[in-house]
Structure 1
């Protein structure tokens, strides 16, 4: 393992631990990957984040191959397929946070009730139809839900965030859970007002000029 690979593996472990620290995952749930050389690095299957070491991170080829003595996350397919089909994405995180998952259990998309939805690429966050975890079908459904977006919900499952960097992907995941939390509370207060496609479209354009790139996480909420 050379220095660059060591640093990349440490970054994957750090991102997985950050998801736990932010309350987005617990135990062995969720997974993290990042583009690396001709393939990707992904968290292993069934290993609690607290016990994960850089040596445990699994190198995965775009053909799905990996070292015989290592087992990648069961969700490796959609990680691989997202990174293979989206050159704008350098990392993917999958998590089961409470509010995202609650809407996913109800199979509801998230409408434009807050301008921060523009950070996800458009006027809504789609919920992909249900398919069993780890399957090619789930990967295809997730890719469709992510078209022109960088986050989606997975019916009866959780969420996915894909970013130019690991920091950006984690930031997107936290922002999505925050928005879902706000929307859930607003639904208890009354009927949330949905912003128009025009209003969100202009915000999407403003975000594109806000310095959103691989070097930073994203704009702060104002």
Structure 2
């Protein structure tokens, strides 16, 4: 895939983030891996304003160019995830309403519904809190993603990985819907959780080709 096509996919995903309402204001960001670095959304711009001309490039071991487009303040986070997780080709980070509410409670999303397995594990974890835009946050989030493709970020939001910007976005939207359902179920008490054996059965079915078997949103880590 050409660099231009990667950028087009990233812009498309950013526009869809805006339309889906999971990236309020200028709070969300997204990136795509390239052969020698990444393209990431610009700092201070709404996802709906993304264009090919206002993406920022950062080399694998580099820092943003001083005289170029200023990247999202979370560029450390994206860069660290690409370094640590070769399977990841794209990242979506957003402050979607329900996932962020759970993150502010510092609660993971447990196996209350079988679709939690869409993220690749029996639970979607919640990281420890760290200040935005820092290497501390980058390391904290990255270490939680070895066994799962999404997580909540304490008092912050959520992050999702994919094999393209659009599959990362699809997973972020699934996480948001799961967070909404979980919060709703908590209004009547603690929901009944599926057992480890029950979740393992679901994970195996997803791994063997759930749906059309073409998207890494279902490439579970078993």
TM-score norm. by structure 2 comes to 0.91
- Assess if the C-alpha contact under 8 Å between 1:164 and 1:213 holds in 2: no
User: What is the DSSP-based 3-state SS (H/G/I as helix, E as strand, rest coil) of the residue aligned with 1:92?
Assistant: strand
User: What is the DSSP-based 3-state SS (H/G/I as helix, E as strand, rest coil) of the residue aligned with 1:159?
Assistant: strand
User: What is the DSSP-based 3-state SS (H/G/I as helix, E as strand, rest coil) of the residue aligned with 1:63?
Assistant: coil
- Assess if the C-alpha contact under 8 Å between 1:39 and 1:62 holds in 2: yes
Q: Within 5 A, what are the aligned runs for 1:141-220?
A: 141-210=140-209, 215-216=214-215, 218=217
Distance 2:24 2:72 in 1: 15
- Assess if the C-alpha contact under 8 Å between 1:123 and 1:197 holds in 2: yes
Gaps of 5+ in 2: none
Q: CA deviation at 1:214?
A: 9.5
**How many corresponding residue pairs?**
217
Judged with a 3 Å threshold, the aligned counterparts in structure 2 of structure 1 residues 214 and 135 are, in CA distance, closer, same or farther, namely farther
Match of 1:92 in 2: 91
User: What is the DSSP-based 3-state SS (H/G/I as helix, E as strand, rest coil) of the residue aligned with 1:118?
Assistant: helix
Alignment RMSD, CA only? 1.9
2:21 paired with 1:48 = no
Distance 1:82 1:214 in 2: 25
Report the more deviating stretch, 149-158 or 186-195. 186-195
Match of 2:22 in 1: 24
2:145 paired with 1:111 = no
User: What is the DSSP-based 3-state SS (H/G/I as helix, E as strand, rest coil) of the residue aligned with 2:168?
Assistant: helix
Q: CA deviation at 1:36?
A: 1.1
- Assess if the C-alpha contact under 8 Å between 1:212 and 1:218 holds in 2: no
Judged with a 3 Å threshold, the aligned counterparts in structure 2 of structure 1 residues 85 and 212 are, in CA distance, closer, same or farther, namely farther
Report the more deviating stretch, 72-81 or 207-216. 207-216
Q: CA deviation at 1:218?
A: 4.4
